[in-house]
Amino acid sequence: MKRLLLAGFVIFAVASCQTSPRLQQGDYDYLISFQGIDRSYKLHVPPRSQLFRGMPLVIMLHGATGTANGAATLYGWNEQSDLAGFLVAYPQGVSDTWNAEHCCGGAYEDGIDDVGFLLAVIADIQGRAPIDARRIFVTGMSNGGMMTYRLAAERPDLIAAIGPVAGTIGGQATETSPIQVIPTPNQPVAVMIFHGTADENVRYEGGETIAGLVEGRIDMSVDQAVDFWVQANGASSTPTDSANETGHILRRAYASSDGYGDVVRYAIVGQGHAWPGGETPSVGPIPIGDTPSTEISATATLWEFFAAHPKPQR
């Protein structure tokens, strides 16, 4: 089931949602006008949505050159939503990119306010469905992972937990550009990170990217992202390590005293720039991305983490 809401009717629809029927199971396409630009997002409503008041919301951000449609197809979030009963939104970036401060593409070059846009998307969804404000989560792939970090750092009051995949907290657009790093949040946000050790687009160890949309960009490392969030959340500096039987899935967890600021990192040994457990992007029958690990599902693991990390009661 698909529905399209024209931009010119956004204000009317939001204002009248109190008397509109609750959204039924299906997939919806919405257009909203933000800062003079018509922008869009997809919304997936699971079968059990009628049973819940105050549903969790997951925001899934596509990577650079990706799309909301692709994100809804490749990573299994709709299927996970149907199993667990939460809403999933797929916003669309300008020029298929997000402005994550030092990356990427048209959104970065044009200085697009993607933090503001994503807040507008969340507010628009809150006007249409009963959202639990303590259970708003964000995840993203690559440039979408970078944007995930940025949104959580700038609005930790709103976001309960995040799950960046193949992202970074900052870096330099070019060798001569200033270093851009997300701001330190003023309250904890639970974080689960996935990153392949053989990623050449956003390198695990950081440094100059050698593949992908922008070669020559300099990214901060996964270890720097982990250290940033451990310190920001006040989590323990002594991690707990574990691995699967093959030794390809390395988990490192830093616990917080109250559980709201836990930080977990999954290193996927030998995987490149891909979503673990997802599908490889392609143009027709031709793959255009790295092969994801089949030893773990980032989507299922992230949802388990999200479900265990709501915002604290106030």
Is 50 exceeded by the pLDDT of residue 13? no
Using one digit for the tens of pLDDT, what is the confidence trace for 209-227?
Answer: 987 777 789 999 999 999 9
Domain residues of the chain, as ranges?
2-14+23-307
What percent of the chain is modeled with pLDDT above 90? 82
What is the H or E stretch that residue 228 is in?
helix 222-233
Q: Is 0.85 topped by the overall pTM?
A: yes
Is 70 exceeded by the pLDDT of residue 12? no
Assign 125 a pLDDT band (cuts: 50, 70, 90): very high
Q: ∠198-201-207 over CA atoms, to 5°? A: 85
Looking up tokens 């200085």 gives 111
Residue 37 has what pLDDT? Answer: 94
Using one digit for the tens of pLDDT, what is the confidence trace for 264-308?
Answer: 999 999 999 999 999 988 767 777 789 999 999 999 999 999 999
Task: For residue 58, give the nearest of 39, 79, 40, 38 by alpha carbon.
Answer: 79
Residue 158 in contact with residue 126, Cβ under 8 Å? no
Q: What is the mean pLDDT of residues 251-260?
A: 96
Burial class (CB in 10 A: 0-12, 13-18, 19+), 142: buried
Cα 293 from Cα 299, distance rounded (Å): 12
Using one digit for the tens of pLDDT, what is the confidence trace for 41-58?
Answer: 999 999 976 556 789 999
Using one digit for the tens of pLDDT, what is the confidence trace for 148-167?
Answer: 999 999 999 999 999 999 99
Assign 18 a pLDDT band (cuts: 50, 70, 90): very low
2-14+23-307 classified as CATH 3.40.50.1820: yes
